[in-house]
Amino acid sequence: MEVVMKGKKLLLLAVALLMFAQIAQTLYSPALADIGQAFSVGPQQTALTLSVFFLAFAFGVVVWGRMCDRIGRRPSMLAGLVLYAAASAMGLTVSTFNALLVAQGLAAFGAAVGSVVTQTVLRDRFRGAQLAQVFSVMGIALAASPAIGLFTGASLVQVFGYRGVLGCLLALSLGLWLWCLRDLPETRPQVVKAPALFETLCAMLRDRDIWRSTLLVAAFNIALFSYYSLGPYMFQRLDSGAQWFGYSGVVLALGSGLGAWLNKRLLQRGLSGRQLIQVAGAIMLLGASGVLLLEQGALFVLPMLLVVLAFGMAIPNILGAALINYGDRLGTAGALFGLLYYLLIGGGLMLVAWGQALGQTLLLCALLVLMLSGIKQQGARATSRDGGGSVGKDVA
């Protein structure tokens, strides 16, 4: 009974840590318009804060992934949360937009610990079908993150401005630090030989399956976060405030939860991960077309639900199979995999900020997904010593 209780405590903490990485992004989105007014910068510049977040997050994934193999899972998590809290405190005191970008970058670097170290802890404790089941349950729980982030962020901005969001994130990171200090176990095996970083990187860069998975994860995330980046200004143009952008998080949460639920049910019915990704691509194309047609009015939020539903269906299947050939070096491979797709997401969001065109962005992402999903995965190679995959929702 004690083991079961400890397992439930760990899963609850893991959900909170994975949600933290996602909420750290979505909570910030409603504040973009207020940041623009506070620092006298335009939509293209304020949208860069999300790009900076993802680029810094990418390097954080690599560093914390290596650190958790070298010094342990628990010390790495505690250090990352301290860095995030310090960066949030810095953001509360800055007086220039560039200084705010620096604070955002440091915060993102720290927030990456909530993703990569949590995934590593789960892979330490669970394997195979059990790991997939854990992730399915987490996917449904994490569906609430967009609603929580957008609604809470919008409410805080209405009352306190963007500093209210930063203060909330500071309190959240400190609360998680105390929780981890009390309940997070050290799951690193007693004897760990950290695999060679560049050897693993070279192997992954030559792996067609890794590139397929990387581009798929990037396409789905760029589609999702282009809404977070451009949405506040679209609602502003429609004479709606940050509060209505926050309410739209409920629609996104509904789509994400439905996508995770559909994924679980269809897997139980025998559909393969590749088939589900193809279905998700078709749904995303339908949603993108709807947004393109309706983006001059508030109804564009409704087809956006289909885009988020597709995200919830596809991401578990992409991540679950991405590292099947790297079971003997999951920490390092997971960190490098994260680096690759977060760099692509950050670069993609820079283009989104420059283009300011949500419908066209979604359409391009959907077409890329459909093209990539038609490429058959090569499958596990004999060199893998562990069938574990990557888990965790990305901020995927």
**pLDDT (tens digit, 9 = 90+) per residue, 164-176?**
999 999 999 999 9
Residue 53 belongs to a domain with what CATH number?
1.20.1250.20
Q: What mean pLDDT comes out for the span 7-36?
A: 84
Does residue 326 or residue 178 have the better pLDDT? Answer: 178
Q: What mean pLDDT comes out for the span 321-342?
A: 81
Q: What mean pLDDT comes out for the span 99-122?
A: 90
Q: Considering only CA atoms, which of 176, 249, 221, 214 is closest in space to residue 323? A: 214
Using 50, 70 and 90 to split pLDDT, how confident is the model at 290?
A: very high
Does residue 384 sit within a domain?
Answer: no
User: Phi and psi for 326 in degrees, rounded to 5?
Assistant: -125, 35
Residue 194 has pLDDT above 90, yes or no: no
Six token digits for residue 110:
């720290």
Q: What mean pLDDT comes out for the span 12-29?
A: 85
Q: What mean pLDDT comes out for the span 308-326?
A: 84
Residue 1 has pLDDT above 50, yes or no: no
CA dist., res. 223 & res. 364, Å (int): 9
- Residues ≥6 apart with Cβ < 8 Å to 40: none
What mean pLDDT, rounded, does the chain reach?
83
Does residue 359 or residue 320 have the better pLDDT? Answer: 359
pLDDT digits 0-9 by tens, 349-372: 889 888 888 999 999 999 999 999
pLDDT recorded at residue 380:
47
Q: What is the pTM of this model?
A: 0.77
- Structural domain boundaries, residue 18: 2-188+198-373
Does residue 87 sit within a domain?
Answer: yes
User: Phi and psi for 195 in degrees, rounded to 5?
Assistant: -65, 155
Six token digits for residue 197:
């970083």
pLDDT recorded at residue 391:
39
Q: What mean pLDDT comes out for the span 380-395?
A: 40
Please, what sign has the CA dihedral across residues 89, 95, 100, 102?
Answer: negative
pLDDT recorded at residue 242:
60
| DSSP tag of 89 | H
pLDDT recorded at residue 243:
67
Does residue 55 sit within a domain?
Answer: yes
Does residue 391 sit within a domain?
Answer: no
Number of domains in the chain: 1
pLDDT digits 0-9 by tens, 47-80: 788 788 888 998 898 899 888 888 888 999 999 9
